[in-house]
Structure 1
Amino acid sequence: MADDGAPSTACTGSSLLQPLSELTDLPLDQVNFVACQLCALISAFWFRLFLHPSKTSPIIRHAVATLLGLYFAMFCFGWYALHFLVQSGLTYGIMILTGVEHMHKYCLVVALTYLSLCQITRVYVFDYGMYTADFTGPMMVITQKITSLAFEIHDGMARKEEHLTAGQKILAIRRMPSLLEYFSYNCNFMGILAGPTCSYNDYIGFIEGDPRRHRDPKDNRKSSSKLSQREPSPNMEVVRKVTTSFFCLLMFLSVCKVFPVERNIDDDFIANTPFYAQVVYLYLSMLTTRPKYYFVWTLADAINNAAGFGFNGYDSDDSARWDLISNLRILKIEFATSFKVFLDNWNIQTAHWLKRVCYERCPYHPTAATFILSAMWHGAYPGYYLTFLTGIVITLAARAVRHNVRPYFLHSSTHKLVYDVITWAATQIAICYTVIPFVLLSVGPSMKFYSSWYFSLHIGCILVAFVLPVKRRNLPLKDQQKSTVQESLQRHLEATDRTCSQKEKTT
């Protein structure tokens, strides 16, 4: 959704709802998006009830999910939706024509390059700073799916089982998907407009009616046995999430204009407002930008749940969990007491994608590499790069503080409470400071804001990261195995030496 509330005529999709756009004073592309998501919600109930796996073959379910998805995409973006097919078709050809040894690298480069070219064209050729008719949004999710699938195929068909982590074993794909399965996974109506990303195995399990078959049977024996007896209904969860999403939409529409982000860089505001008031205003202005993301992601999650997708086992009280592909946890975001907790609960599926594709596999500086990949994936605006480069410094400093300071506050509940209050305030300020270029987009306004704060958090976090020691990150699996082998060999040699010495003494 765009930040600008004025109607726009730049929408490349259907103009059928133009009267509603004028009536609500909202841009047509936003109206089209919400209308399509509501239609997708209704279609999801129909899909679950009338095309249930017990009644319909997987081929029919794949075909219907794909055709509905492409129709909604055409309604919202017009012929720009063909980019979804081109990007998916191009990478599928790479998967078929290249070997499983290297196709994951080729798919990552090609999918990300294609996405970047579309983003650069849209930003610098068509409409800088506007989100109108942003067809690259769905392409970002498709890019995640393409690359995740390629890495999971590589894990399942090119790597040895003993070299995989526990998570990689669960998600590994043992056969090449058909063309229909591939397009259904990338372009289904439940996730084509706003995601969220999901694993290929989870999606195929949902389509075929056996959603948890690839999960660890030891961890999910209880869930699997219950699922075989009865299929949990998602209706109450869908109602809860739809209610939450539209409450967030109302909050965004009513409060966003009260605290415009641009005021943080207004000359009069900077010159005449005490610094503590600037801090409070920064927090409030960034707080009011988040409900639009809460609306989009929560509604998208509800659509998948309505179709029967997203079941994640049972809680200890035997209540069904529908958070398999949830993209955020609102309360944990707003009350996060560390930078890591905030990131772990914000855009969760993207965080999983970055971890599985980059962080777990990058041999050098995985934190920096992950933030850079995230910036490239988000788009061509300079503000994105400023945000994620700042995020690297903040993350390293937050990690150092947590490792070195937190243990001193765990001796009593009172100290722990004081620590949580301080770290909540520090986390919220750090998040706002980090992401404001993400909203301002351009270099000039972003640097103006940072200079008004004298780059204080940058300087402070760099000093903290250098001064406070941090435990080394766990070694990659191969290094762990190599280290284990070396230790075993060393123990064997020492035992042999002892045996020889004993024999010599006996002799």
Structure 2
Amino acid sequence: MRKWDLAVCLIHNCLLSRPCPQLPLRNGSLPFHQLQNPENQELGRSLMVNFVACQLFALFAAFWFRIYLHPGKTSSQVRHAFATILGIYFVIFCFGWYSVHLFVLVLMCYGIMVSASVSNIHRYSFFVAMGYLTICHISRIYIFHYGILTTDFSGPLMIVTQKITTLAFQVHDGLGRRTEDLSAEQHRLALKVKPSFLEYSSYLLNFMSVIAGPCNNFKDYVAFIEGRHIHMKLLEVNWKQKDFHSLPDPSPTGAVIHKLYVTLGSLLLFLTLTKSFPVTCLVDDWFVHEANFLARLCYLYVVMQASKPKYYFAWTLADAVNNAAGFGFSGVDKNGNFCWDLLSNLNIWKIETATSFKMYLENWNIQTSTWLKCVCYERVPWYPTVLTFILSALWHGVYPGYYFTFLTGVPVTLAARAVRNNYRRYFLSSKALKAVYDVATWAATQLAVSYTAAPFVMLAVEPTISLYKSMYFYLHIVSLLIILYLPIKPQTHIQRQPQTLNSVNKKKMD
């Protein structure tokens, strides 16, 4: 979503009634003097228009795709081909010749898919995709001067990298590992046959997700193209009628309309909140030198809240596009309502009411969290939390702010887990105590997230250090003290390991 962020920055600069303070330009900060240049502002507005135009056109194309290229009327090959061709057009329309990077990566990794051994296919695909993405991040920022706006093709490249590695691991699980060594989820998503080039291209470059995502599983995507997606999900939740032809065919129209309302509300919030509380004010003299600690704490929270609606807008719109095409059905909830949240990237209500760092992360950028769990957290033998945060930072890019955020997130996550494991049980004896606990943990979580995520939007070393110095590095110190003095329960590491089918069978026998 880097393209979106840059375009949003330009709109933000145009809307402000007073000039924003410039962040320092050394050590990896975003060059705001380039963004304020009229020529670059025009380029940024053009990118913004391209992004919104593509997504709105994709929305209408998705409805047309679902109605006129319905799997009952059209072959899966035609649906694959149409989704791929339109997706390629979108990429070229938005990024011009820079889109060649996307196509080169897809071709290279398909070569690995068809030629590498199943025992190594996941390793080669992972290192080639992540390596190519990292090289592009470095060249775009440090060689092309922080990615002059026309070169910011990294967003789609990041999504394609997720899909390439997800697919490679699922092929490895299906062809290179024993069934009893897989977790239930790995077994469900494992592939016994390598995809054809058309399937591979359609999965990676389809018009519904090539610009803004989200990442999804290959089996779900192919089932959608072939018209089995909704029926498959209904059967997974033990729908009463097992006769395949008698299963209902729920419409996504209601879900799409609801998500478009959320999209519009998010856009309005962004345009109003960001004007009053720009992120750049975190380096103002008033904030750094004059405000007291409590004022800084509250203002940081408000500023970070104001930076979130742009993500709500982009991710919800992307989700609506997929739903409009008929993709994203997840089953039936406990009340019997049809759900269209299989591809949702966030749960706004749970984010804003999160009472733990874990709960917040689980509902923010959900599909990326699922990807990190699939390719890293469940598979590495040592330090899964640390390595997962490092991979997340590397995937996002090479701005120093990303590494400040994700490396800060490691001790904060461990400290939050220790507090929860040691003290939560004491507040469960009554509703009043539980309410006090929930309010306290909500406030702590929201402030902790604001503190941790601030470098992510500031990007640079100097403004980040300035901010953290003004906050006395309080969360770093508190987190380290908690880790040092509170006992860490050993079973938390054991619980991380996914249950394999073999372990499940053993429990049944016992």
**Could you tell me the TM-score, scaled by structure 2's length?**
0.88
Q: What CA deviation, in whole Å up to 9, does each residue of 1:178-202 have, x standing for no partner? A: 0000000000000000001000000
Matched, 1:239 2:257: yes
Q: 1:313 aligns with which of 331, 334, 347?
A: 331
**Distance change >3 Å, CA 466–CA 35, structure 1 → 2:** same
- 1:474 partner letter: I
- Aligned partners of 1:223, 1:182: CA distance in 2, in Å? 34
Shift of 1:221: 3.9
SS in 2 for 1:53: coil
Conserved? CA contact 1:223–1:313, under 8 Å: no
Matched, 1:124 2:142: yes
- Aligned partners of 1:143, 1:459: CA distance in 2, in Å? 35
Which residues of structure 2 form unaligned runs of 5+? 15-37
RMSD (Å), alpha carbons: 2.4
Alignment of 1:100-139 (within 5 A): 100-128=118-146, 133-139=151-157
Q: 2:88 aligns with which of 46, 59, 70?
A: 70
Aligned equivalent of 1:41: 59
Q: What CA deviation, in whole Å up to 9, does each residue of 1:315-367 have, x standing for no partner? A: 23221100011100011111111100100000000000000110000100100
- 1:177 partner letter: P
Q: 1:346 aligns with which of 364, 370, 381?
A: 364
Aligned equivalent of 1:398: 416
SS in 1 for 2:192: coil
- Aligned partners of 1:38, 1:483: CA distance in 2, in Å? 46
Shift of 1:26: 6.7
**Distance change >3 Å, CA 239–CA 218, structure 1 → 2:** closer
Aligned equivalent of 1:500: none
Conserved? CA contact 2:80–2:225, under 8 Å: yes
Alignment of 1:30-429 (within 5 A): 30-128=48-146, 133-211=151-229, 219-222=237-240, 228-429=246-447
Identical aligned pairs, as a percentage? 51
- Aligned partners of 1:223, 1:376: CA distance in 2, in Å? 47
SS in 2 for 1:254: helix
Shift of 1:4: 2.7
**Distance change >3 Å, CA 218–CA 350, structure 1 → 2:** closer
Conserved? CA contact 2:184–2:500, under 8 Å: no
Shift of 1:212: 5.5
Conserved? CA contact 1:94–1:106, under 8 Å: yes
**Distance change >3 Å, CA 111–CA 375, structure 1 → 2:** same
Relative contact order, higher structure (CA 8 A, sep 6+): 2
Aligned equivalent of 2:10: 4
Matched, 1:449 2:467: yes
Aligned equivalent of 2:453: 435
Shift of 1:219: 3.9
**Distance change >3 Å, CA 88–CA 355, structure 1 → 2:** same
**Distance change >3 Å, CA 77–CA 466, structure 1 → 2:** same
- 2:59 partner letter: L
- 2:75 partner letter: S
Conserved? CA contact 2:214–2:319, under 8 Å: yes
Matched, 1:474 2:474: no
- Aligned partners of 1:165, 1:358: CA distance in 2, in Å? 14
SS in 2 for 1:27: helix
In terms of Rg, which structure is larger?
1
Shift of 1:223: 8.7
**Distance change >3 Å, CA 285–CA 131, structure 1 → 2:** farther
- Aligned partners of 1:49, 1:443: CA distance in 2, in Å? 51
- Aligned partners of 2:325, 2:242: CA distance in 1, in Å? 19
Q: What CA deviation, in whole Å up to 9, does each residue of 1:233-269 have, x standing for no partner? A: 0011101101111211121112202111122222232
Conserved? CA contact 1:163–1:477, under 8 Å: no
- Aligned partners of 1:206, 1:317: CA distance in 2, in Å? 25
- Aligned partners of 1:44, 1:222: CA distance in 2, in Å? 30
- 1:153 partner letter: V
Conserved? CA contact 2:400–2:459, under 8 Å: yes
SS in 1 for 2:331: coil
Q: 2:482 aligns with which of 445, 464, 472?
A: 464
Conserved? CA contact 2:378–2:498, under 8 Å: no
Conserved? CA contact 1:170–1:215, under 8 Å: no
